[in-house]
Structure 1
Amino acid sequence: MPRTRSAAPSVTGLDRRAFLTAAGAVGATTALALAYGTGAAPTAAPDRFAPPLVAPEPVVAPPVPRVPYAEGTTLATVATPRGAAGYRRLAEGPGWDRVVRAELAAARPGRDDRRTVLASFVQFTDLHLVDVQNPLRHEYLRVRAAGAWRPQEALSVAGAVSLVERVNSLPGGPATGAPLSFAMTTGDNTDNNSSIELDWFLTAMSGGRITPNSGDPRHYEGVQNSNHPLYWQPDSDLRDADKIRGFPGVPGFLEAATRTVTSPGLRLPWYSTVGNHDSLPGGCCTPDDPFLAEIATGGRKLELLPADEAIRAYLAVLGGPGPGRREFADLLKAHGRRARSVTPDERRVPFTRAGYLRAHLAPRYTGPGPHGHGYTAADLDADRLYYSFRIAEDVVGVSLDTTDPGGHHTGSLGSGQLRWLDRTLRAHPYEHVLVFSHHTSTSMDNTVPDPAHPAERRHSGAELVALLSRHRNVRAWINGHSHRNQITPHGTFWEVTTASHVDFPQLARVVEVTDNRDGTLSLFTTLVESGAPSRTDFGDLSQRGLAALYRELSCNAPGARSDLSGGPGDRNTELLLKRH
């Protein structure tokens, strides 16, 4: 039986006009539960392992706006680089229009006045909260690939908190005005599979104080004060490679970057989906390796490699489940004298699957709920990182674990999880199903066996598309991983891939699902930036100023791709579907 958890209690259906009339009087508790459909459909019996369906705690939400609205979203304005070369400053630029995509169903006139709202929520993906001082990192690959280290990474916590602040300020779905009922993170919440990063992520989402520093609490120990010209040295007069490209000197940057940040936490219930950087050290290494834990928590940090050695290590990352124990051991043995002495820190230890689950279940991270953020004690007992949950009266969510425990950055599903997914979809034939995962259909090609289940077959993205296509109740597959906005039709459902919040343009996505009451559904997708200003003041090292600098540095990062925002049809959209 599927294990379906509740995001909110159900309510009777309301049409759009009635909703807009009554919305101002609807309390926040009810707002979280709104499921505006045409009536209840049969549901599967509750799983015997599922917790009772409990309403989330009331939250204070902004007033529901007149709709559609654009303020606070990329419909109104987008941080836009000025100039064509060199270090480019950001400023407010024109917003992105909403594009209607009718590949899967015709757009019928009058649907704006007929539609009812089924779900309204937010997707975060690829936050990549980074402990930049972790000795396990592969920064030395920058000599081969500029994108192996990003100048903005030390500000990832300030950037993530600013995104939380933006979502808290949204008064509802931009297309319908329906109150946002939850947020879903679709993986790579952490960058190095590090316990301290997991604490930062859970605190940013649930609320509290974060000090983005590890090792010596008195000062930073990493590549940005190494005096290596390969890396941007913001506090130094050194003419490093990035300053030659136009990067500024920012005195006080490293002290500010390791200063305590305060997160208000999301005002919405939120759910968690796991990614490869969460499950695997470095996003690609075989987990549960004592040798990797020794490197991560130890006192030697390799920051430079000769170009030929870096090329070999880079190809090992691309070519298979590595660099693993042998590659790391060989690197450290050959270049131990190059390694920098740093302060050991046990908090950097890579977390296990069980550790990931226990952290989500810890009461101090519950915030607005739900407790466990989708995961339960039963999942901990079963060593399981996938689940289903109730979004609304007629809408079910499914969170998948697409990381291959055998290693590598691409993904797949094991046969056991694929069978569970098929059973879950069969159990909800008359409801709308939204599937969440980290990997995309084109990045699930990893057939490395799971060390814990060596005989179990692994399944590709194409096989997952085929399974989802057989179930006409699947409306969307929502994911990340590629760091690029891309929306793909798959015959009966849409695959919605959202850009990251570490690489420019640093976005999250609001999704609203409506029944148009004409035989079609619409999925509205609206991108949002963090709450930081578009313009950056190099002298403003406040929490807000650092979040703005985080975005501008990401725009200028050497090796950064220029196509991550996608095309107009991948950004703010209305996606039409037939209602089967």
Structure 2
Amino acid sequence: MGGLSRRQFLARTAALAAALGVSVETLAPQLALAQTDPGEIPSTLLQTILYGPVTKGSYRTLTAGPGEPYIARYDVLGRTADPTRTSRRRSLLYLGHLSDLHVIDAQSPGRIEPMIVQDHSAWGSAFHPHDPLSPHTTAAMVQAFSDARYSPLTGVPMGAAIVTGDSADMHSHLELRWYIDLMDGLSVNPASSGSTYQGVQAWPEATWAYRPNDPSGGSFGDYGFPTLPALLDDAISHPATSPGLPAPWYAVYGNHDTLLLGTFNLSPTLHALAVGGRKAYTLEATASMALAGYAASGSAVTQLLDAFGLWLGRPGFKEVTANPGRYLFAQRDFMAEHFTTETQPGPIGHGFTQHNLDSGETWWTAQLSPFVRAIGLDTCNAVAGPDGALPDVQFQWLKAQLQQATTEGMLVVVLSHHNSLTLENDAQRPGDTTVLHHAEDVIDLLLAYPVAIAWLNGHTHLNQILAHPGANGGGFWEITTASCIDFPQQQQVLEIVDNRD
């Protein structure tokens, strides 16, 4: 069974079911379970990842821990479940949930890594010691989903995968293409500046960075990070090879897909920096150049002089190989690039449609199975700030979609980047009177429609499941998936089943 694709499995099951005179619904799970050992699927059912011992300073290795059992939760049900449900349940949809991939071009001049010198806690996302490994990490995660393409619970093949934003870390077109290609099963070449790594992790002046060739003399050396002389060149000299997701996949915007570093609007200075041939390695150079466009007194003349500074040279910069593919993409570009994709696993657009491209609307619906519909939202604030909100036009559209699903008897899974803990961003341009809806409004709206059974999101880089029970019974689950850039670098699979009770 391991060699069959989802389409091949469904086609052969349908043919066999017709020959035997039984339903596909009955036969498919039994065939898959007969050849799928849940113990072989790489998930936390099999093993967990734990902190290992401290090797030096505060640096720890990781170690494997025991697997975790299923835990029955009755927060929404409000009563103990029928113990015989497992003998009669049917699968409605098995899907993968990816979020916060943060695919990184670590050599890009558009990265503002030195900002961590100013405040590591505030600017922590600007630099990670493992940034050059990001494309390989994402490829490995896609491989894990491929390995988990059959449900460990019912054995059915994965019917869909969803990506809830923050896919391109620094708003680079190159990162955007890498992410889409890795989801599609294409190889990605991380050597964006040529065959030799060019960046802060190879420069002895950048003592604030982890320099794997020789970490001594810097903070990461004090922490106990190891000496790994081949790491940087290995990271860029080997392609990131992905098998592709095992099911059709769908995407929504994250704040990193909307703003630079998920926080700042895009200035002309930053556009020039991203595609240029000079990269900052000091805080002073980064602050004076990359952030100059945001100064209150910054005029068009000031921004033009800043752009010239990229070419005339300033202290704190080194020359690197420029790459025009690193340009900072516009909002519509994010949708448009999802149409430049492989037909398998599909679909073309990955949730976005021609209507989205024509209208500029960044939200959509898609049928994931005969029983389950996805509603993809854009909760990102395009003005400023990492957190989100839901504009009234989109809120009213969501209400109409929930009403339509109710009329059609369709279950709904709502997708967004932000979760209920981070849906409170009120940033608006002067004179804008748009009503912004926060978490309380969204939760109340979903509770008003029992067909809404789950809200899948990300943003906080943590795995979390929150129950939102209704006042008169029922409710929905809010499921937040972690990130591929921060520990524990885990993603999730989930399955919607009908227990026929």
SS at match of 1:137: coil
Aligned pairs for 1:74-153 (under 5 A) are: 74-84=44-54, 86-105=58-77, 106=79, 107-143=81-117, 144-145=119-120, 147-148=124-125, 149-153=127-131
SS at match of 1:258: helix
SS at match of 2:49: strand
Matched, 1:354 2:354: no
1:394 and 1:27 map into 2 onto residues whose CA distance is: 18
Conserved? CA contact 1:221–1:342, under 8 Å: yes
Residue 20 of structure 2 corresponds to: none
Shift of 1:386: 1.0
Shift of 1:324: 5.9
The TM-score normalised by the length of structure 1 is 0.73
Conserved? CA contact 1:186–1:436, under 8 Å: yes
Shift of 1:108: 2.2
Match of 2:404 among 414, 420, 427: 427
Conserved? CA contact 1:188–1:277, under 8 Å: yes
Residue 447 of structure 2 corresponds to: 469
2:343 and 2:257 map into 1 onto residues whose CA distance is: 19
1:382 and 1:129 map into 2 onto residues whose CA distance is: 28
1:35 and 1:229 map into 2 onto residues whose CA distance is: 61
Match of 1:234 among 209, 212, 221: 212
SS at match of 2:402: helix
Shift of 1:163: 1.1
Residue 391 of structure 1 corresponds to: 368
Match of 1:509 among 480, 484, 492: 492
SS at match of 1:443: coil
Matched, 1:284 2:263: yes
Residue 546 of structure 1 corresponds to: none
Residue 545 of structure 1 corresponds to: none
Residue 47 of structure 1 corresponds to: none
Match of 2:230 among 244, 252, 258: 252
SS at match of 1:263: coil
SS at match of 1:283: coil
Residue 493 of structure 1 corresponds to: 476
Residue 319 of structure 2 corresponds to: 341
Residue 438 of structure 1 corresponds to: 417
Match of 1:458 among 415, 436, 453: 436
Which segments of 5 or more consecutive residues in structure 2 lack a partner in the other structure?
Answer: 1-5, 18-22, 470-474
Match of 1:168, as an amino acid? S
Match of 2:13 among 23, 26, 37: 26
Match of 1:511, as an amino acid? L
1:297 and 1:64 map into 2 onto residues whose CA distance is: 51
Evaluate the alpha carbon distance shift between residue 340 and residue 475 of structure 1 in structure 2; reply closer, same or farther with a 3 A threshold.
same
Evaluate the alpha carbon distance shift between residue 323 and residue 100 of structure 1 in structure 2; reply closer, same or farther with a 3 A threshold.
farther
Q: Deviations over 1:449-502 (max 9, x none)?
A: 268x93322221222112111111100001000001111111111111111111
Evaluate the alpha carbon distance shift between residue 347 and residue 459 of structure 1 in structure 2; reply closer, same or farther with a 3 A threshold.
same
Evaluate the alpha carbon distance shift between residue 352 and residue 29 of structure 1 in structure 2; reply closer, same or farther with a 3 A threshold.
farther
2:293 and 2:496 map into 1 onto residues whose CA distance is: 43
Evaluate the alpha carbon distance shift between residue 95 and residue 372 of structure 1 in structure 2; reply closer, same or farther with a 3 A threshold.
same
Residue 244 of structure 2 corresponds to: 265
2:483 and 2:283 map into 1 onto residues whose CA distance is: 28
Instruction: State percent identity of aligned pairs.
Output: 32
SS at match of 1:168: helix
Conserved? CA contact 1:432–1:475, under 8 Å: yes
Matched, 1:174 2:152: yes
Conserved? CA contact 2:421–2:439, under 8 Å: yes
Residue 3 of structure 2 corresponds to: none
Aligned pairs for 1:297-446 (under 5 A) are: 297-305=275-283, 325-326=294-295, 336-362=314-340, 364-429=341-406, 430-446=409-425
2:166 and 2:375 map into 1 onto residues whose CA distance is: 18
Residue 202 of structure 2 corresponds to: 225
Match of 2:38 among 69, 73, 88: 69
2:167 and 2:24 map into 1 onto residues whose CA distance is: 28
Which segments of 5 or more consecutive residues in structure 1 lack a partner in the other structure?
Answer: 1-7, 10-21, 38-61, 519-580
Most deviating of 224-233 and 68-77 = 68-77
> Number of matched residues?
459
Match of 1:446, as an amino acid? N
Conserved? CA contact 1:35–1:117, under 8 Å: no
Shift of 1:443: 0.5
Shift of 1:119: 0.9
Evaluate the alpha carbon distance shift between residue 89 and residue 109 of structure 1 in structure 2; reply closer, same or farther with a 3 A threshold.
same
Residue 168 of structure 2 corresponds to: 190
Shift of 1:290: 2.8
Residue 472 of structure 2 corresponds to: none
Shift of 1:167: 1.2
Evaluate the alpha carbon distance shift between residue 450 and residue 512 of structure 1 in structure 2; reply closer, same or farther with a 3 A threshold.
farther
Match of 2:241, as an amino acid? T
Match of 1:157 among 121, 135, 154: 135
2:64 and 2:34 map into 1 onto residues whose CA distance is: 23
1:466 and 1:28 map into 2 onto residues whose CA distance is: 45
Conserved? CA contact 1:292–1:325, under 8 Å: no
The TM-score normalised by the length of structure 2 is 0.84
Shift of 1:35: 9.7
Match of 1:198, as an amino acid? L
Evaluate the alpha carbon distance shift between residue 324 and residue 186 of structure 1 in structure 2; reply closer, same or farther with a 3 A threshold.
farther
1:298 and 1:29 map into 2 onto residues whose CA distance is: 59
SS at match of 2:60: coil
Conserved? CA contact 1:207–1:262, under 8 Å: yes
SS at match of 2:338: helix
2:134 and 2:33 map into 1 onto residues whose CA distance is: 31
Conserved? CA contact 2:102–2:485, under 8 Å: yes
SS at match of 2:187: strand
Q: Deviations over 1:499-524 (max 9, x none)?
A: 11111111111110111111xxxxxx
Q: Deviations over 1:259-307 (max 9, x none)?
A: 22222222321111110111212211124x4332112112332222269
Shift of 1:115: 1.5
SS at match of 1:224: helix
SS at match of 1:505: coil
1:467 and 1:189 map into 2 onto residues whose CA distance is: 28
Shift of 1:204: 0.4
Shift of 1:174: 1.7
Shift of 1:185: 0.6
